[in-house]
Structure 1
Amino acid sequence: MRALTVTPGTTDSLRLDQDFPEPDPREGALLVEAVAVGVCGTDREIIAADYGEAPPGGDRLVLGHESLGRVVEDPTGRLKWGDLVAGIVRHPDPVPCPNCAAGQWDMCRNGQYTEHGIKGLDGFARDRWRIEPEHAVKLDQSLGLLGVLLEPTSVVAKAWELIDRFVERDPWQPENVLVTGAGPIGLLAALLGTQRGLDVHVLDLATDGPKPQLTHDLGATYHSVPVHEIGFAPDLVLECTGAAPVVFSVMDAVGPCGIVCLTGVSSGGHQIPVDAGALNRALVLENNVVFGSVNANARHWKAGADALASADRKWLARLITRRVPVAEFAQAYGPPDADDIKVVVEFTDH
């Protein structure tokens, strides 16, 4: 079968293997036929040899952690043939740490977790893959290809769950949210914000292309100005760029008792002048919360599936800006186009 593989630690080693072995039954009882995988910055970083880890005993890693497939067989009977599913990316460590033992492997304490297509487990960019049924999330059949958006949606579902917990600390209820970055994570975060009935604002540098209209069609407000020029102090912020100047700007801009969730991962190596004392004073005196969030556990994946099922299909479809056949994979993993939001690699025709 076909599989997109890399040699971790070797730059630009991505290739399409035509005779990759069928998935070992030890990978899981559930056999799934791949429909598509999403492409994200993590994949490009692994291709660039920034990180990535092959399964034990191997030197190649199957890429792909944003999955979509259809069930071929499930001997446990939990799922049936043809069900549309996505595979949960992270698996708990074998020790396990207290969080992993409680099913919160997204909060692993000792770093011994594994992740499909990233760390110690082959990914989903292959014609067929296996996983344990409890690590497969069933999607609404009507989503079709749009189900490939579940992994990034699970990430923002976790972020919103954590925000909701912090909101519970006092009687005041937030009315608005600022989302910085209009990539797939940012737009999906905005979607979940509108589903909560909040006044949603999205900030991004793009002034043309699909992002402003996608934001408008959510019923949200689009900004392409610096954070300090948006004209209000947001109650909530979801920072989805990882750009250091934006990170510090939103921490400074959030209103009293406000909450800032950082989901973007900074590249590092950038120095900017920051009045740390003034920032600390503001955060403390205004009872603000700043926290980071990454990955997701089964609860968040299911919440993400519910959010997609409730979303407008035509709007979701516009997030997928390029569909690339697996045979032309190099086009998908090369430098993104200016108007790209989500690129997917297709294994089957629709």
Structure 2
Amino acid sequence: MRALTVTPGKADSLRLVDDAPEPTQAEGEVLVEAVAVGICGTDSEILAGDYGEPPAGRDTLVIGHESLGRVVEDPTGTLEPGDLVAGIVRHRDPVPCPYCAAGEWDLCSNGRYTECGIKGVDGFARQRWRVPAEYAVPLAPELGLAGVLLEPASVVAKAWDHIDRIGARGFWAPRRVLVTGSGPIGLLAALLSVQRGFETHVLARGTSGPKPELARRLGATYHAVPVADLDFDPDIIVECTGAPPVVREVFGKLAPNGVGCLTGINASAHHIELDLNELNRCLVLKNNVIFGTVNANRRHWAQAADALARADHDWLMGMITHRYGLDDYAQAYAEQSGIKTVIEF
């Protein structure tokens, strides 16, 4: 079996192997034939040797956490052969902590969770993979290759789920949403905003290429200016860049009773000054909430699958700007332009 492996902690160790072992029953009941994997910034960090953890007793890890495949067999009867599915990335810890025991493994409190293709468990960049039935999420067959967007969409679905829950603390009638960033997370955040009926604005640096056009095709307004230059204060901000200057501006831009969600992480050593007194005033005097989010649980994956099923298929496919075969894996992981790069099996 062919698979893409890395040695976590060792830079430039990505290899295509032809003799990877078949997935075992211990990995899960559902056997899946790979269709594609998506590539994101976390993969780049693993390839650079900055992140990643192999399964116990090994020094290599099968990479790939943005999955798409077709069911070969599911003895539990939950899924049928041929069903289009994606595998949930994070799995509950073995203790489990109270959060994992409640199915909220995205909130794991003891850090003993595993993540496919990232931490302690092989990922999906292999011809066949297995997952437990509870971690296999069915997708509408009409999605086809666009189903590979489910993992990033699940992160966005969690962000919106928590925004809704925080907003329900009292009377709330949000109207205007600002999404900062126009990568996959930003565009999917804007998609879910539009699906909720909000006036949606996307702010990013680029003025040409597919990103501004995709935002406009959603019905969102695209801005290529600093946050501070906007002539409105949004009720909701979904920050998807992780860029410190943008994050700082977001704090003071929220309208009263607003909710801001931070989804991005910046790995650079760049530091900026932050006026904590001003931040405190914004949060306290304006009744604002700013929170961070990472990963997702089964509920969010199901919400994301529903959102993708309701989206325009051509718009979703417009996000997939680069497609490579498995043999061209090195070029795929080196790709820096466009929006979403996928490797097809």
Give TM class, smaller chain: over 0.9
Superposed, which structure 2 residues align to 1:286-305 within 5 Å? 286-305=286-305
Structure 1 residues 335, 141: CA separation in 2 closer, same or farther (over 3 Å shift)?
closer
- Distance across 2 between alignment mates of 1:282 and 1:197: 27
- Distance across 2 between alignment mates of 1:81 and 1:95: 32
Give the structure 2 partner of residue 223 of structure 1: 223
1:254 partner letter? L
Is the partner of 1:304 in helix, strand or coil?
helix
- Distance across 1 between alignment mates of 2:23 and 2:261: 38
Matched, 1:103 2:103: yes
Superposed, which structure 2 residues align to 1:26-175 within 5 Å? 26-175=26-175
2:320 partner letter? I
Report deviation, 1:158. 0.4
Is the partner of 1:260 in helix, strand or coil?
strand
Is the partner of 1:20 in helix, strand or coil?
coil
Give the structure 1 partner of residue 325 of structure 2: 325
- Distance across 2 between alignment mates of 1:245 and 1:280: 18
Q: Structure 1, residues 165-205: CA drift from partner, whole Å, max 9, x if none?
A: 11112223100110000000000000000000000000000
- Distance across 1 between alignment mates of 2:27 and 2:219: 43
Report deviation, 1:344. 0.3
1:346 partner letter? E
Report deviation, 1:239. 0.3
Q: Which runs of 5+ in 1 are unaligned?
A: none
Is the partner of 2:256 in helix, strand or coil?
coil
Give the structure 1 partner of residue 251 of structure 2: 251
Q: Structure 1, residues 105-141: CA drift from partner, whole Å, max 9, x if none?
A: 0000000000000000000000000111111000000
Give the structure 2 partner of residue 316 of structure 1: 316
Give the structure 1 partner of residue 334 of structure 2: 334
2:110 partner letter? N
Report deviation, 1:75. 1.0
**Aligned CA-pair RMSD:** 0.8
Report deviation, 1:335. 4.2
2:36 partner letter? A
- Distance across 1 between alignment mates of 2:17 and 2:80: 29
TM-score by length of 1: 0.97
Is the partner of 2:177 in helix, strand or coil?
strand
Give the structure 2 partner of residue 24 of structure 1: 24
Is the partner of 2:54 in helix, strand or coil?
coil
Is the partner of 2:191 in helix, strand or coil?
helix
Q: Which runs of 5+ in 2 are unaligned?
A: none
- Distance across 2 between alignment mates of 1:124 and 1:41: 16
Matched, 1:9 2:9: yes
Matched, 1:210 2:210: yes
1:33 partner letter? E
Give the structure 1 partner of residue 342 of structure 2: 344
Structure 1 residues 328, 268: CA separation in 2 closer, same or farther (over 3 Å shift)?
closer
TM-score by length of 2: 0.99
- Distance across 1 between alignment mates of 2:87 and 2:11: 27
- Distance across 1 between alignment mates of 2:117 and 2:172: 42
Matched, 1:194 2:198: no
Is the partner of 2:156 in helix, strand or coil?
helix
- Distance across 2 between alignment mates of 1:172 and 1:81: 45
Is the partner of 2:237 in helix, strand or coil?
strand
8 Å CA contact 2:54–2:61 kept in 1: the answer is yes
- Distance across 1 between alignment mates of 2:229 and 2:304: 32
Report deviation, 1:163. 0.2
2:342 partner letter? V
Report deviation, 1:269. 2.1
Report deviation, 1:275. 2.0
8 Å CA contact 2:335–2:341 kept in 1: the answer is no
- Distance across 2 between alignment mates of 1:323 and 1:229: 37
Q: Structure 1, residues 35-59: CA drift from partner, whole Å, max 9, x if none?
A: 0000000001000011100001111
- Distance across 1 between alignment mates of 2:73 and 2:196: 37
Give the structure 1 partner of residue 267 of structure 2: 267
Is the partner of 1:45 in helix, strand or coil?
helix
- Distance across 1 between alignment mates of 2:327 and 2:244: 37
Report deviation, 1:90. 0.3
2:203 partner letter? L
2:318 partner letter? R
